[in-house]
Structure 1
Amino acid sequence: MAYPFVAPDLTKRPPRSPKVRLGGYVILPRTIDKCRALLAGTLGAYLFNCPLDQKFFQFKGLDPEAFREAVARSETDEAILHWVETHGIPRTPEEVQEWSRRMEEFRYGESPQEKEFFLEQCRKLGLDPETTRLFDLLEEDDRSSLLSEEGESCPLFS
């Protein structure tokens, strides 16, 4: 199927950083990249609708499958943002800003398994778990995954 967008090849380069914003939302550009790559068959080791994507979908009240269908029809990030704004839970700019700030500060989930996974990944990547945020971990994982022969990414958070 031909799509109206150019999909990133995530077997050769990472998606955009989770810190990059679109419409004030962190995570959204990264989620778009992964969704486009999924549609094009170039997702590589990344996951669409991973726990991080789900945090965005929950905040906006969006169905991941409906989001995927909207991405498949949309040429631009701005068109996807328009769809997000018209189909999701209405949020004020202040709510979006606060949610994005909290996400940027997020380290790991509440379960012992998530904490242990986070600590293990920090050690593996040479990061200080006391000062590292999840987005920092993902950026370093993206860099190191492209350099490694295995091309493994953080499956819990990608």
Structure 2
Amino acid sequence: MALFFFDLTQRPPRSPRVRLGGYVCLPRLLDKGRAQLAGKAGDYRYNCPLDQRWFSFAGISAELLLAELAKERGDGEILSWIDETSSTRRAPWEIAAWSASMESRSPGDAESHQIFFERLQKLAPHREDIVGWFDLLDLDDYVSFGGRP
């Protein structure tokens, strides 16, 4: 795993905003999968609820993708494999629309609002610009690795 080693105990995965093949979340998901295979996932979890949204949309199983990552393939090779393997065969406009909707997601129900608020209070109670889940993930990654909120 030397070529694609990713140590999430030393630095965070890529932001959920970073895209690969138009998909948000995919580069982050790949980082977490590679780190899990290397035993270096730290506090990050492959196939978390956010990852599961991607798997559902893309029509790929978490187990199949992890097996493909174990072959030490690069991001471009993984994207080609996804395009060939996906059970849903998404058009570029569908990927763009899904990615935009994911990027703008914010807490919807009372329980989600409470979880979001509690996490924000713990990380940076003075921040008023953190309004969506991707904002919170980016802030959490930054603060967790020594950044000042």
Q: Same fold (TM over 0.5)?
A: yes
The CA distance in 1 between the partners of 2:85 and 2:73, in whole Å, is 18
Aligned-pair CA distance for 1:90: 0.4
Amino acid at match of 2:12: P
Aligned-pair CA distance for 1:125: 2.2
The CA distance in 2 between the partners of 1:48 and 1:122, in whole Å, is 22
The answer to whether the Cα contact below 8 Å between 1:74 and 1:80 also exists between their aligned partners in 2 is: no
What is the percentage of aligned positions where both structures have the same residue?
Answer: 43
Q: Which residue of structure 2 lines up, in the alignment, with residue 118 of structure 1? A: 116
Q: Which residue of structure 1 lines up, in the alignment, with residue 45 of structure 2? A: 47
Aligned-pair CA distance for 1:146: 1.3
2:20 aligned counterpart, secondary structure? coil
Amino acid at match of 1:82: S
The answer to whether the Cα contact below 8 Å between 1:16 and 1:29 also exists between their aligned partners in 2 is: yes
Which ranges in structure 1 are unaligned for 5 or more consecutive residues?
149-158
Question: Which sits farther off after the overlay, 131-140 or 20-29?
Answer: 131-140
1:134 counterpart = 2:133 = yes
The CA distance in 2 between the partners of 1:77 and 1:118, in whole Å, is 31
The CA distance in 2 between the partners of 1:58 and 1:109, in whole Å, is 20
Deviations 1:77-135 (A, max 9, x none): 0011111111111001100000000000001354x322210111122222337x51111
Q: Which residue of structure 2 lines up, in the alignment, with residue 153 of structure 1? A: none
Residues 69-80 of structure 1 aligned to structure 2 (within 5 Å) = 69-80=67-78
The CA distance in 2 between the partners of 1:10 and 1:87, in whole Å, is 27
Residues 1-16 of structure 1 aligned to structure 2 (within 5 Å) = 3=1, 5-16=3-14
The CA distance in 1 between the partners of 2:104 and 2:123, in whole Å, is 19
The answer to whether the Cα contact below 8 Å between 1:35 and 1:71 also exists between their aligned partners in 2 is: yes
Aligned-pair CA distance for 1:51: 0.5
Q: Which residue of structure 1 lines up, in the alignment, with residue 89 of structure 2? A: 90
The answer to whether the Cα contact below 8 Å between 1:70 and 1:80 also exists between their aligned partners in 2 is: yes
Number of residue pairs aligned between Structure 1 and Structure 2: 144
The CA distance in 1 between the partners of 2:66 and 2:108, in whole Å, is 25
Amino acid at match of 2:92: P
Residue of 60, 63, 75 corresponding to 1:62: 60
Which ranges in structure 2 are unaligned for 5 or more consecutive residues?
none
1:108 counterpart = 2:88 = no
The answer to whether the Cα contact below 8 Å between 1:4 and 1:73 also exists between their aligned partners in 2 is: no
The CA distance in 2 between the partners of 1:128 and 1:61, in whole Å, is 36
* Superposed CA RMSD: 1.7
1:103 aligned counterpart, secondary structure? helix
The CA distance in 2 between the partners of 1:5 and 1:115, in whole Å, is 40
Normalising to structure 1: TM-score of the pair? 0.85
